[in-house]
C-alpha cells in the first residue's frame, strides 16, 4: 500500500497523513490555536547545543520504491516530505521535536507568527533577512509568491491555498496572486489576503507545498529536479530508479532551532528497489540505517523483531490515522441508517486488527477521530457490553435485528477494496461480516492506484456498496477528518477527487461543522467541544465502518541514536546521529 | 535398393501383427503399455479426485468452511484448545502468526493461512480451481486453435494470411506480459469482462480461463495449421471433393479426423502449461480472485510466512510440481502413442 503513505504523485487523495503520539489532544489543539491566533510568538529561540561529536556520516534509508515526481509543489507523500523538511522551509513550520511538541507551529522563514487582521482575512509576515537558498541566491518575500502561484500552475493539491485572493482565477495555464500574496522585497514583508477567515491557515502554511523556492523556478512541474531550498541539506540527486542523495547546504545557518536545527549526518541517502524483507535484513546486518516501509514488514520478520536482540532498534508509535470502510449512502442497502448501524455492530474489529498485525500494531475503533487527536473523546456505541468507550466484541444479535428492521436482509452488497495482501484480507473479512447478518456480499478488488479514484467518483456509485479507505492526518485539526471526509462540501459529483467517499451529508452535522470552524479563532475550547459532538454524531449516523487506528514501526540499525518521533513528520531523520 | 517401407510391404513377416486395427485403439494400446505414462496418469487422477473431493474433506473431516476468514477461531492440538492465530512474543508482541501443521486430518492438518483458514481444505479447493482453469483453458485454447487452423489451412489465400498474421501479432507479445496486461485491464473493470451478451464477473474462474486460453491460441494454431496444410491436398480430400462434398463436410469429415491427433498430443502439455500460467498469474494477483482460491493464490499468501509457516507455500508448490510433472510425462506418452512415426518403434 503502500497503503496510503506513499501515494503516487498526483493521486487524488487530497490529504493523507500522519500522526500524534501522546494524549491530551485538546491541549495540542490549544497549542496550535494559540500559536496561530495570538500572534507575536517569539521569533527566535536559542538553538539547543548540538554535540559536534555526533555530526558526520551517511544515513542510509531503504525504501521499496521512490516517491514519484520530486517537485515539492505536487508531491504528496510522507516519503518525500520526510526529506523535504530537511531541505526546505516555509513561513512557519511544525517544531522539529519529538512527542506533543512536534505539533506546535513555530515561525520558520517568518520572524514571527502574525496575528490575523481584517476579520481574520489578512496576515502580515516579516521575512528573515540573510537567508540563502542552496544555490546561493538570497531569499526574498517575492519567492513566496512564486511558491503559492506554482500550487496552481504545476498544479498541487490546490484546496489548501484556494482561499488566497485571486486563487479562484488560477489554473495550470497561469496564476496571478499579486493581490492575494503581496511581497515587499525592500521591507521584507509578505502580506497574504484571504477571501474568508481560515483557522487552519497556519497548519496549511507549514506543509511542504508552501515551502519556499526561488522566484525564478519554472511555473511548471520540475519533474525529478527539486528546486533549491533553504534547509540544512540540499538535493544532490534524485533518480526514482536508484536513489536520492541529500548533502549539506553550504549556505545554511541556524535561525530558529525549533523550526530548522542543523542536522547530524553529513549525507542522507535513500535507496530504492529492495523488497521490504531485504530492507530488514540489510538493517539487521548494519548495511543500512532505516527501513522506510516499516508498515509492510512481513509477518516472518515481525517475529524476528520481537527478539530482545532488536528491542532497542524497533520503535512503535500510534498514528493519528483511520482505516475504515465507507458505506455508500446513496445506494441500498446503506442509504438506510439502520443497515449502516447493523454492519457497524457486526464488524469484527478484532479480526481487522489481526490483519493489521495484531494489537501491538493497531487499535480497534468505532469513531472517526483517532485517539490522541484534538477533540477526541472515546466513543464506541457499536460494541457488545455496556461500556461504550471502547470496542470489545461484535454484537451480532443487535446487528441482525437492525437488518430485519431496515428491510434490507438478503440484499446484494459489493465490497470494494485493493488487491494487495492486506486489502484482500480486509475485504474478505468484511464480506464475511456482511454475510453473517444476512446480506449476500461479494468482493470487488482493484489495483490500489485505481481503487481510490474509483470509489470517490460518483459515476461509479451504483457499482459498489462498501469501499475501503484510509486516512492519515495532514495536520492536527479535527476538520481534517470530520469536514474533509464527511462534510457536505467535499462531495464533488463525477470527480475522482471527492474525499467524502460515503457521499454522506447530514444538514445537522454540517451546521455543527460550520459553527465549529467559525468559532475556532475566537473560542478554541468551544470549537473543540463542537468537534467532539460532530465526531459522535457522525459515529451514530454510521457512514463508515471504522476498523482501527494503525501504529507505525520504525526499524533502525544498532548504530543509530537520538530517535525522535514527531506527530507531524514521524521519524526526524536529520536529528538522528550515527556511532 | 528398396526402401524400408517397400521391404516391409514385400515381406509379410515384417508387417505389424495388428495391421487393420482402429488407429485409436492402437494408440490406446501403445499408451497402456507405457508404464511411466500410466503411472503419471494415475498420479494425475489421484490429484484430481482429491481436489474434487474437497467439499467432502472440508465438511466431513475437517469440519470447516475454508473460505471466510477465521482469525479469531480456535482448534484442538494434543487435546488442548488453542487459538488459530497467535500474537507475536518477545517484548513488542508484533504480528500474528497462524498455527502450523498439526498432522491431524480433523484439526488443521497443514496448519492455517494468514487469515486463519484451514490450509489442507484450502489446498484441495485451490486444486479444484487450478485444475478447472488449467483444463478449461487448454481445452478452449485447443478448440479455438483447431477451428482457426482448419479455416486458415483449408481456405488458404487471404483468409490464411489474415488469420496467420493475427496469430503472429498475439505470438509477438511475451506470453506472461500479455496475460498480465489483459488480466489487469479486465480485473480493474468493476463489471469484469463484457462482450455482447457474454458477461463474466471479475471474481469468476471463467475470466482467467478465457485469458489463458486466448494467449496460448497461437501456440496450438501453428502446428495445427501445418497439419491441415499437409492434409488438405491429399488424394482422399480430392476424391471427396470430386464426389461433391461441401466445405463443411470436407473440413469436419475428411481433414479434422486426420489432424485431431496433433491437438490431442498437445492437450496434456497445454494443460500443464496453463496450470503453470494460472499459478503464476494468481501469484501476481491477476489470476484467480477471491473468494476463490488456487494454488497460486495460496503461494502468494504464504510468501510472508515462508520462514515461520513454510507449508503454506510448500504444499501448493508440491501440488503444482506433481500435477505438471504427471501431465508432462503423460503428454510424452500420448505423443509416442499417437505419433505415426513412432508406430514401428513402439510395436517393434
Facing B285 at nearest CB: one of A299, A308, A419: A419
Q: How far is it, in rounded angstroms, from Cα A529 to Cα A519?
A: 11
Question: Cell for A109?
Answer: 522563514
Please report residues of B whose CB lies closer than 8 A to that of A432.
68-69
Q: Does B300 touch chain A (CB under 8 A)?
A: yes
The burial class, CB within 10 Å (0-12 / 13-18 / 19+), for A496 is middle
By the 10 Å C-beta count (0-12 exposed, 13-18 middle, 19+ buried), B20 is classed as: exposed
Question: CB contact, 8 Å: B302 with chain A?
Answer: no
Using the Cβ of B184 and the Cβ atoms of chain A, whether some distance falls under 8 Å is answered with: yes
Residue pair A290/A554 in contact (Cβ under 8 Å)? The answer is: yes
| Lowest-confidence pick of A10-14, B289-293, B331-335 | A10-14
Search chain B and give the residue with CA nearest A350: B72
Write the DSSP assignment of A298-359 as a string of letters.
-HHHHHHHTSGGGTTTEEEEE-SEEEEEEE-TTSTTTTSHHHHHHHHHH--HHHHHHHTTST
Residue A21 is predicted with a pLDDT of 28
CA distances from A490 to A13, A209, B42, B190 (A): 12, 21, 63, 24
What size, in residues, is chain B?
348
Please tell me the distance in Å from B58's CA to the nearest CA on chain A. 18
Mutation for testing the A interface, residue in B92, B184, B286 having most A CBs under 10 Å: B92
Kindly determine whether residue A305 and residue B71, on different chains, have CB atoms separated by under 8 Å: no
pLDDT attached to residue A419: 86
What pLDDT, on the 0 to 100 scale, is given for residue A17? 35
Any residues with CB less than 8 A from the CB of B183 and at least 6 apart, and which?
Answer: B207, B208, B211, B281, B286, B287
From the CB of residue A236, how many other CB atoms can be counted at a distance below 10 Å?
15
Taking CA atoms, what residue in A is nearest to B304? A298
Numbers of helices and strands, H then E, in chain B:
14, 6
CB A40 within 8 A of CB A112: yes
The C-alpha cell that represents B197 in the structure block? 451478451
A306 and B93 in contact by Cβ < 8 A? yes
Directed axis angle between helix A507-519 and helix A524-541, to 10°? Answer: 160
DSSP B295-317: HHHHHHHHGGGTTT-THHHHHHH
C-alpha span between B339 and A278 (Å, rounded): 50
| Burial group, residue B5, by CB count within 10 angstroms (0-12, 13-18, 19+) | exposed
Rounded Cα gap, residues B211 and B173, in angstroms: 14
Domain boundaries, chain B: 35-55+119-347
Residue pair A18/A320 in contact by the 8 Å Cβ criterion: yes
Contact between B268 and B334 under an 8 Å Cβ cutoff? The reply is yes
A308 with B90: Cβ contact below 8 A: yes
Please report the pLDDT score of residue A205 as a whole number: 96
The answer to whether the CB atoms of A358 and B92 lie below 8 A apart is no
Which pLDDT does position B348 carry in this prediction? 38
Question: Per the structure block, which three cell numbers stand in for A140?
Answer: 526574498
Distance from CA of B298 to the nearest CA of A (A): 11
Mean pLDDT, chain B, rounded, equals 88
CA–CA dist A406, A63 (Å, integer): 48
Question: Is residue B180 predicted with pLDDT exceeding 70?
Answer: yes
Q: What is the pLDDT of residue A8?
A: 33
Cα–Cα distance, A210 to A146 (Å, whole number): 10
pLDDT, residue A538, reads 97
- Angstroms from A447 CA to nearest CA on chain B: 7
- Which residues on A lie below 8 Å from B114 (Cβ)? 299, 421, 425
Q: Given an 8 Å threshold on Cβ–Cβ distance, is A350 in contact with B71?
A: yes
Looking at this predicted complex, what is its ipTM? 0.81
Instruction: Give the C-alpha distances (Å, rounded to integers) separating A209 from A155, A425, A476.
Output: 10, 35, 17
Minimal-distance CA residue of chain B relative to A427: B290
Share in percent of chain B as helix, strand, coil (round to 5): 65, 5, 25
Grid coordinates standing for B152?
Answer: 486458415
Is beta strand A362-364 parallel, antiparallel or unpaired with respect to A92-94? unpaired
Contact A37, A521 (CB under 8 A): yes
Q: Is B284 on the interface with A (CB under 8 A)?
A: no
Asked if B190 and A303 come within 8 Å (Cβ–Cβ), the reply is no
Closest CA to A351 of A379, A323, A370: A323
Nearest CB to B96 within list A354, A419, A445:
A354
Cell numbers representing residue B321 in the block: 510440481
Enumerate residues 6+ apart whose C-beta is below 8 A from B246.
Answer: none
Give which of B72, B290, B308 to mutate to test A binding, by max A Cβ within 10 Å. B290
B113 Cβ contact partners less than 8 Å away, ≥ 6 residues apart: B98, B119, B122, B298, B301, B302, B305, B312
Determine contact: B84 vs chain A, CB below 8 A.
no
Nearest partner of B134 among B33, B238, B11, B275, judged by Cα: B275
Say yes or no for a CB contact (<8 Å) between A429 and B71.
Answer: yes
Helices B206-232 + B256-283 axis angle, to 10: 150
Domains of chain A: 39-269+557-578 (3.40.190.10), 321-552 (3.10.105.10)
The total of other beta-carbon atoms located within 10 Å of residue A377's CB is 17
Rounded distance, CA A475 to CA A566, Å?
12
Q: Provide the pLDDT for residue A298.
A: 87
Alpha helices in A361-409 (DSSP H): 396-406
Of A358, A424, A444, the CB nearest to B87: A358
Q: Is residue B97 less than 8 Å (CB to CB) from chain A?
A: yes
Which residue(s) pair with A248 in the sheet? A233
Taken in order A361, A366, A368, A369, is the CA torsion positive or negative?
A: negative
pLDDT of the residue at A355: 94
Residues of A in contact with B310 (CB under 8 A): none
Count of beta carbons in the 10 Å neighbourhood of residue B224: 25
The number of residues making up chain A comes to 579
- Considering only the beta carbons, identify the residue of A305, A431, A463 that sits closest to B190: A463
Distance in angstroms (rounded) separating the CA atoms of residues A379 and A532: 10
Chain A residues closer than 8 Å to B85 by CB? 354
SS3 of A305-321: HCCHHHCCCEEEEECCE
State which residues of chain A have pLDDT below 50: 1-47
Going by the DSSP 8-state scheme, the letter that residue A7 receives in this structure is P
Residue B103 neighbours by CB distance under 10 Å? 10
Distances (CA, A) of B45 to A483, B15, B49, B322: 61, 36, 6, 11
Helix, strand, or coil (residue A474): coil
CATH class entry, domain B35-55+119-347: mainly alpha
What cell was used for A403?
Answer: 437488518
CB B107 within 8 A of CB B121: no
Residue B334: name the closest of B321, B318, B346, B320 by CA: B346
Structure letter (DSSP) for residue B321: H
Alpha carbon distance A22, A319 (integer Å): 10
Q: Kindly report the nearest CA distance between residue B274 and chain A, in angstroms.
A: 23
Give the dihedral of Cα atoms A425, A429, A430, A435; nearest 10 deg.
140
- Cβ atoms of A245 and A224 closer than 8 Å: no
Q: Give residue-wise pLDDT tens across range B30-85.
A: 889 889 999 999 999 999 999 999 999 999 999 999 999 999 999 998 889 999 99
Q: Are B38 and B341 in contact (CB under 8 A)?
A: no
Grid cell locating B231:
492434409
Nearest C-alpha neighbor of B326 from the set B176, B28, B127: B127
Amino acid at each position: 500500500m503502500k497503503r496510503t503513505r506513499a501515494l503516487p504523485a498526483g493521486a487524488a487523495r487530497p490529504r493523507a497523513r500522519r500522526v500524534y503520539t501522546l494524549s491530551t489532544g485538546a491541549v495540542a489543539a490549544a497549542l496550535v490555536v494559540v500559536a496561530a491566533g495570538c500572534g507575536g510568538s517569539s521569533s527566535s529561540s536559542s538553538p539547543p547545543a548540538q554535540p559536534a561529536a555526533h555530526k558526520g556520516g551517511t544515513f542510509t534509508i531503504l525504501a521499496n520504491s521512490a516517491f514519484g515526481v520530486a517537485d515539492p509543489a505536487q508531491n504528496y507523500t510522507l516519503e518525500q516530505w520526510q526529506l523535504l523538511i530537511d531541505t526546505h522551509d516555509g513561513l512557519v513550520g511544525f517544531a522539529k521535536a519529538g512527542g506533543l511538541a512536534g505539533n506546535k507551529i513555530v515561525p520558520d522563514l517568518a520572524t514571527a507568527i502574525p496575528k490575523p487582521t481584517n476579520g481574520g482575512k489578512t496576515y502580515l509576515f516579516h521575512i528573515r533577512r540573510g537567508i540563502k537558498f542552496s544555490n546561493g541566491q538570497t531569499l526574498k518575500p517575492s519567492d513566496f509568491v512564486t511558491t503559492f502561484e506554482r500550487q496552481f500552475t504545476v498544479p498541487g493539491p490546490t484546496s489548501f491555498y484556494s482561499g488566497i485572493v485571486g486563487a479562484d482565477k488560477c489554473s495550470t495555464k497561469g496564476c496571478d496572486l499579486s493581490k492575494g500574496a503581496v511581497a515587499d522585497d525592500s521591507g521584507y514583508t509578505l502580506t497574504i489576503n484571504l477571501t474568508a477567515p481560515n483557522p487552519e491557515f497556519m497548519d496549511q502554511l507549514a506543509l511542504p507545498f508552501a515551502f519556499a523556492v526561488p522566484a525564478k523556478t519554472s511555473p511548471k512541474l520540475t519533474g525529478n529536479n527539486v528546486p533549491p531550498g533553504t534547509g540544512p541539506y540540499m538535493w544532490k540527486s534524485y533518480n526514482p530508479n536508484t536513489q536520492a542523495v541529500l548533502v549539506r547546504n553550504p549556505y545554511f545557518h541556524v535561525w530558529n532551532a525549533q523550526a530548522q536545527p542543523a542536522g547530524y549526518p553529513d549525507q542522507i541517502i535513500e535507496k530504492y528497489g529492495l523488497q521490504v524483507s531485504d530492507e530488514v535484513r540489510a538493517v539487521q546486518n548494519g548495511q543500512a540505517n532505516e527501513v522506510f516501509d516499516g508498515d509492510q514488514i512481513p509477518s516472518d520478520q515481525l517475529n524476528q523483531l520481537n527478539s530482545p536482540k532488536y528491542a532497542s532498534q524497533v520503535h512503535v508509535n500510534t498514528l493519528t490515522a483511520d482505516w475504515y470502510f465507507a458505506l455508500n449512502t446513496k445506494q441500498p442497502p446503506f442509504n438506510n441508517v439502520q443497515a449502516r448501524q447493523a454492519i457497524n455492530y457486526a464488524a469484527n474489529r478484532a479480526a481487522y486488527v489481526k490483519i493489521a498485525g495484531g494489537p501491538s500494531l493497531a487499535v480497534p475503533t468505532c469513531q472517526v477521530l483517532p485517539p490522541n487527536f484534538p477533540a477526541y473523546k472515546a466513543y464506541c456505541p457499536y460494541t457488545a457490553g455496556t461500556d461504550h468507550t471502547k470496542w470489545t466484541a461484535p454484537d451480532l444479535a443487535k446487528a441482525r435485528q437492525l437488518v430485519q428492521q431496515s428491510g434490507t436482509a438478503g440484499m446484494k452488497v459489493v465490497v470494494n477494496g485493493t488487491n494487495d495482501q492486506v486489502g484482500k484480507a480486509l475485504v474478505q473479512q468484511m464480506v464475511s461480516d456482511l454475510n453473517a447478518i444476512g446480506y449476500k456480499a461479494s468482493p470487488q478488488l482493484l489495483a490500489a492506484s485505481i481503487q481510490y479514484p474509483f470509489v470517490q467518483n460518483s459515476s461509479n456509485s451504483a457499482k459498489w456498496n462498501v469501499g475501503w479507505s484510509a486516512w492519515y492526518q495532514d495536520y492536527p485539526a479535527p476538520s481534517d477528518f470530520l469536514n474533509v471526509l464527511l462534510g457536505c462540501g467535499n462531495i464533488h459529483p463525477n470527480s475522482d477527487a471527492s474525499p467524502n467517499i460515503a457521499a454522506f451529508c447530514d444538514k445537522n452535522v454540517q451546521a455543527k461543522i460550520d459553527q465549529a470552524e467559525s468559532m475556532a479563532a475566537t473560542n478554541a475550547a468551544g470549537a473543540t467541544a463542537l468537534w467532539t459532538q460532530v465526531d459522535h454524531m457522525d459515529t451514530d449516523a454510521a457512514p463508515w465502518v471504522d476498523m482501527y487506528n494503525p501504529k507505525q514501526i520504525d526499524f533502525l540499525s544498532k548504530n543509530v541514536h537520538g530517535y525522535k518521533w514527531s506527530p507531524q513528520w514521524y521519524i526526524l531523520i536529520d536529528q538522528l546521529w550515527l556511532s | 535398393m528398396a526402401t524400408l517401407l517397400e521391404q516391409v510391404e514385400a515381406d509379410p513377416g515384417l508387417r505389424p501383427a495388428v495391421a487393420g486395427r482402429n488407429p485409436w485403439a492402437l494408440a490406446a494400446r501403445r499408451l497402456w503399455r507405457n508404464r511411466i505414462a500410466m503411472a503419471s496418469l494415475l498420479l494425475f487422477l489421484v490429484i484430481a479426485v482429491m481436489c474434487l473431493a474437497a467439499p467432502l474433506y472440508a465438511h466431513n473431516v475437517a469440519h470447516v468452511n475454508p473460505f471466510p476468514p477465521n482469525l479469531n477461531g480456535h482448534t484442538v492440538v494434543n487435546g488442548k484448545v488453542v487459538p488459530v492465530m497467535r500474537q507475536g512474543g518477545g517484548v513488542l508482541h508484533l504480528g500474528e502468526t497462524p498455527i502450523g501443521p498439526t498432522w491431524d486430518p480433523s484439526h488443521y492438518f497443514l496448519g492455517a493461512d494468514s487469515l486463519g483458514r484451514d490450509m489442507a481444505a484450502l489446498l484441495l479447493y485451490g486444486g479444484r480451481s487450478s485444475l478447472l482453469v488449467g483444463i478449461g483453458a487448454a481445452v478452449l485454447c485447443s478448440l479455438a486453435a483447431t477451428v482457426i487452423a482448419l479455416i486458415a489451412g483449408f481456405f488458404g489465400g487471404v483468409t490464411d494470411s489474415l488469420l496467420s498474421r493475427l496469430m503472429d501479432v498475439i505470438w509477438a507479445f511475451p506470453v506472461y506480459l500479455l496475460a498480465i496486461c489483459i488480466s489487469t485491464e479486465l480485473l480493474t473493470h468493476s463489471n469484469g469482462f463484457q462482450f455482447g451478451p457474454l458477461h463474466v464477473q471479475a471474481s469468476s474462474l471463467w475470466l482467467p480461463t478465457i485469458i489463458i486460453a486466448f494467449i496460448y491460441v497461437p501456440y496450438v494454431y501453428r502446428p495445427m495449421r501445418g497439419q491441415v496444410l499437409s492434409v488438405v491436398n491429399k488424394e482422399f480430400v480430392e476424391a471427396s471433393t470430386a464426389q461433391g462434398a461441401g466445405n463443411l463436410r470436407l473440413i469436419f469429415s475428411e481433414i479434422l479426423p486426420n489432424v485431431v491427433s496433433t491437438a490431442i498430443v498437445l492437450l496434456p502439455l497445454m494443460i500443464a502449461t496453463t496450470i503453470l500460467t494460472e499459478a503464476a498469474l494468481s501469484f501476481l494477483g491477476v489470476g484467480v480472485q477471491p473468494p476463490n482460491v488456487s494454488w497460486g493464490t495460496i503461494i502468494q499468501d504464504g510468501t510472508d510466512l515462508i520462514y515461520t509457516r513454510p507449508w503454506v507455500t510448500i504444499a501448493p508448490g508440491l501440488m503444482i510440481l506433481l500435477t505438471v510433472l504427471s501431465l508432462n510425462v503423460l503428454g510424452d506418452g500420448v505423443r509416442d502413442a499417437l505419433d505415426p512415426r513412432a508406430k514401428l518403434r513402439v510395436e517393434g
